[in-house]
A and B are shown apart, each in its own frame.
Chain A
Amino acid sequence: MNESRTEARTHARLIALICLAVLMFSPPLVLIFNRPAERGLSWLPLYLFLVWLIVIGLAAWLMEHRQEDT
């Protein structure tokens, strides 16, 4: 009972994370960061790498700490 509830919680968080990742990697937000910095290059790659790492970090935290009911 308790275990399946924890499982459901983790799943809900994972779904939220997937939605977040899809949102961050898709045009409306991507377009915002598609602007040149003062030195002339676009911020876009930096933004993508940062979001990518954050998403992976969150996923790792979610996957490896799922036993504890946080």
Chain B
Amino acid sequence: MRTDPVVLTVAFGYLALLFVIAAWGDRRAETGRSVIGSPTVYALSIAVYCTAWTFYGSVGRAAESGPSFLLIYLGPTLAMLMAPFMIRKMVRIASTQRITSIADFISARYGKSSSLGALVALIALIGITPYIALQLKAITLSHAVLVNYPQAADFRLADESFWVDKSFWVALVLAVFIILFGTRHLDASERHEGMVAAIAFESLVKLVAFLTIGVFVVFVMFNGPMDLFSQVAESPRLVGALGLDAVPGGATGWVGTLVLAFLAFLTLPRQFQVLVVENVDERHLRRASWLFPLYLVAINLFVIPIAMAGMLLPVGNSDPDSFVLTLPLSAGLEGIPLLVFIGGLSAATGMVIVETIALSTMVSNQLVMPLLLRSKRLQLSSQGELAGWLLGIRRVAIVLILLLGYLYHALIGDSYSLVTIGLVSFAAAAQFAPALLIGMYWRGATRVGASLGLIAGFVIWVYTLLLPGFAQSGWLNPDFLEQGLWGLGWLRPYALFGLEGWDIYSHSLLWSLLANVGILVGVSLFTRQSALEQTQAALFTNAMNPGLQHTSLWRGQTTRGELQTLLSRYLGANATARILADQKSNPNNSDPAPPAMIARAEQALSGALGSASARVLINSVVRGEALDLESILSILDTTSQTLEYNRRLEQKSNELAKIGEELRAANERLRELDRLKDEFVAMVSHELRTPLTSIRAFAEILRDGKDLPEDKRIHFLEVVVLESQRLSRLIEEILDLARLESGRLTLSPQRLDLVTLTRHSVDAVHRLQEDRGVTLQVDIDMDEAPVIGDPDRLEQVIINLLDNAGKFADDDNPQVRLHLARHKEHVRLSVEDNGPGIAAEERERVFEKFHQIKRFSGSAGKARGRPRGSGLGLPISRGIVAHLGGRLWVEDAPQLKGACLVMELPQAPE
């Protein structure tokens, strides 16, 4: 079963199946029922990250350097966690700008620069070729192991002619295969739905294959993981194999590899292709951000058990990279090794297909097309459609890339294990990270800075990883590894500037990224951006800004006819009709093309040719200012203004809410006041009606009773007069109150002596108090008390206070005391009585209108027959005193133990 014909039939059968899947995917896409419109398929397609390097190499790495193989997958896990921030932005940019590859992305960011795009494409070509070589080696090696076992699968490539070498034929077959389904048609967008479907399928196959061999080793060759690990623990050779000590470079190597894997996951051309270019819906990132890491866990689950088992058992082949195959072979199985071989084939072909397509797109769009457009534009223009040309260039590029990979493999492939080659490529791809990531977030990064940074990083990578690799495979004199270039010790490639003790990858990554980032930032700070660069930088850094979508930034002028000619020349008639769908145009149409149409045309050209070439072509037909920086900046400003407006609006609405709250409170208070006013009016009416009623009653008696005795008549008339006086006094008080409250009370303040005024007032009430039997005691401690006040009003207040005190003094022995004294800068006049006093909670209420203290005599239990007050005296008095800048309040009487009303007025200045 392990004969060449069987293995080859199975392998070609598998490739044919892939082709069928791809064709089916393409046909479904054409009919609008895309098979890749699912986040799960998207996540599986990202798993193209797991190449033959994972499939065979992880076990080898686990056997040699412990858990460090996991770092290659932890880095991408971290990157996928950041997908909602970072990759989403990349996807958004790529879809609005029709980005076709990472070289195109970087070139577009830095002003659609064709030189930068070419630089990226070149670095990718040089850096990734070893990786492709690695896949070819894996396929050849696994085939050899499968067929030759138990003989050692020895092959010495360099000794044989290339046509005997199977790798050469593998490369050729793959090239044909990739050409067949990678470049079947040239679409306006560089999407390959069929390819993505096939890749997703391959990811499933390799996962199933690896899990199968894992389960077989752990549960069939051993009795479960406990058995395996207890056997491992008994082997002193293996103790410590899983610790950090086995990791090259220890803790630094650990971090270095983690960072390396993180960056490479984002910048490897094939990862960029499946992650960004082939993404059909940015919402798929949500599912993929955890599903893909889960895939990584699953495919790594059995790596350690297989590695341990391979080292425990005598499998006949000492190369740990082949344990996956040699373990089941040593158990005498036939079927499982074949399945493993197919799994490894999936891993390798998946990577080669995507990587080659990505690289060929870069080569044609970034390297060949700009040259063709520059040097032979006229000739090309006369060629008619360019679509055929482009496809031709890509096909040639695919063949050349694979042959390059084969060449690398044939010349130096033997000297490296799988893992080593993979990490060298990772470090090359990581050089794109600064230009890519910094460019996405920092608007100030310039083309010159990015180019120089890339070159510096690349040169250091070549010197610290690539050349030493050549030297170790005998291509170069390995002396410079030990002694440094020109014998300079600090130039040793593995210990640059004397930095020793690091593993070679962390060491190379540190120096190359340091130079790359440093130069990118440093040079950017001192160089200027061109207008187009500024625009692109703004568009990239603000890609998530909603204001920038669906915005046409074209201002130049051209005719529909010219645009149509251009498009059909490069994209063919069908694509042109689709892009300019809104009209049946003819080449002689001289209507001006609307800006949106020009933008669409450039996007379509970008999708096929890359942004730099599309720019050149559009500029050839569009006259005038093509892209307007001012308008884009104004859009950005507008959106930031909108945000500012929103913020202010929110602030305003908060204020409004607060004001509304205040208004409601004010309304509540007004209602309360309204209620008080109603009460006031009711009370006033009541107060006015009482004397009026008695006046009317007595007047009627006088009118009707003509025969009333004289003394009775006089008495009644006196009552009428008294009640009238009371009425007019009441009205006077109400008017006073109304004036006070409306602020229209007219006072005529003048300098006066409060002592004189007090004596005068006392004289006025003295008679009345005596009549009531009240003892009035007057203590005046001052000779003179100058205050500013209205004498009539002040007298009114003092009389009112004395009158009140008389009313509320003790029934049997009423006493009132008036005391006038200086208190700091004020004059205090206090009037106290020996009545029951006023409770503390009542003290402010006595100043309310119509508030009358209910007084009951202790024994009789009924109100005393004294003249009633109106309840307005104290409010009026307080109003007057307040108007004169003083205060009026109630406190405990110091001597007579009743109530004490205190009036305080400021002393008049000298």
Contact = CB atoms under 8 A, between A and B. Distances in A.
Contacts of A39: 229-230, 233
Contacts of B242: 41-42, 44-45
A46 B615 CA distance: 53
A29 to B, nearest CB: 11
Interface stretch (B285-293, B600-608, B627-635, B828-836): B285-293
A48 interface: yes
A11 B82 CA distance: 10
A22 B78 contact: yes
A41 B305 CA distance: 12
B244 interface: yes
Contacts of A63: 84, 286-287, 289-290
A31 B74 contact: no
Given A36-B240, A60-B290, A52 B297 contact: yes
A31 B254 CA distance: 11
Contact of B243 (A27, A42, A59, A60): A42
B240 A18 contact: no
Nearest to B226: A39
A8 interface: no
B294 A56 contact: yes
Interface centre among B67, B230, B258 (most CB of A within 10 A): B67
B70 A48 contact: yes
Contact of A18 (B82, B233, B241): B82
Interface in B73-98: 74, 77-78, 81-82, 84-85
User: Which bucket holds chain A's interface residue count?
Assistant: 20 to 34
A27 B82 CA distance: 21
Contact of A17 (B81, B238, B239): B81
A25 B241 CA distance: 19
B747 interface: no
B59 interface: no
A30 B254 contact: yes
A39 B258 CA distance: 28
B255 A27 contact: yes
A interface majority secondary structure: helix
Interface in A27-67: 27, 30-31, 34-36, 39-42, 44-45, 48-49, 52-53, 55-56, 59-60, 63-64, 66
A14 B81 contact: yes
A70 interface: no
B245 to A, nearest CB: 8
A11 B84 contact: yes
B243 A44 contact: yes
B624 to A, nearest CB: 40
B304 interface: yes
A21 B229 CA distance: 28
B251 interface: yes
A2 interface: no
Given A22-B78, A56-B290, A63-B290, A30 B244 contact: yes
B232 interface: yes
A36 B289 CA distance: 33
A45 B70 contact: yes
Nearest to B74: A25
B256 to A, nearest CB: 11
A50 to B, nearest CB: 10
A34 B889 CA distance: 83
A45 to B, nearest CB: 5
Contact of B77 (A14, A26, A55): A55
Contacts of A27: 251, 254-255
Contact of A36 (B67, B77, B243, B304): B243
Contacts of B293: 52, 55-56, 59
A22 to B, nearest CB: 6
A25 to B, nearest CB: 5
A35 to B, nearest CB: 8
B239 A36 contact: yes
Interface in B202-252: 229-230, 232-233, 238-244, 251
Nearest to B79: A18
Contacts of A25: 74, 78, 258
Contacts of B243: 34-36, 42, 44
A52 B74 contact: yes
Nearest to A62: B290
A25 B77 CA distance: 11
A43 to B, nearest CB: 9
Contacts of A66: 286
Contact of A48 (B67, B233, B255): B67
A27 B74 CA distance: 13
A31 B297 contact: no
B381 to A, nearest CB: 50
Given A41-B233, A53-B297, 5 more contacts: A18-B78, A30-B251, A36-B240, A42-B66, A45-B70
24 contacts: A11-B84, A14-B81, A14-B84, A17-B81, A25-B74, A25-B258, A30-B244, A36-B239, A36-B243, A39-B229, A41-B239, A42-B243, A44-B66, A45-B67, A45-B70, A45-B304, A48-B74, A49-B297, A55-B81, A56-B77, A59-B289, A63-B286, A63-B287, A64-B287
Nearest 4 A/B pairs, CB to CB: A42-B243, A39-B233, A60-B290, A34-B244
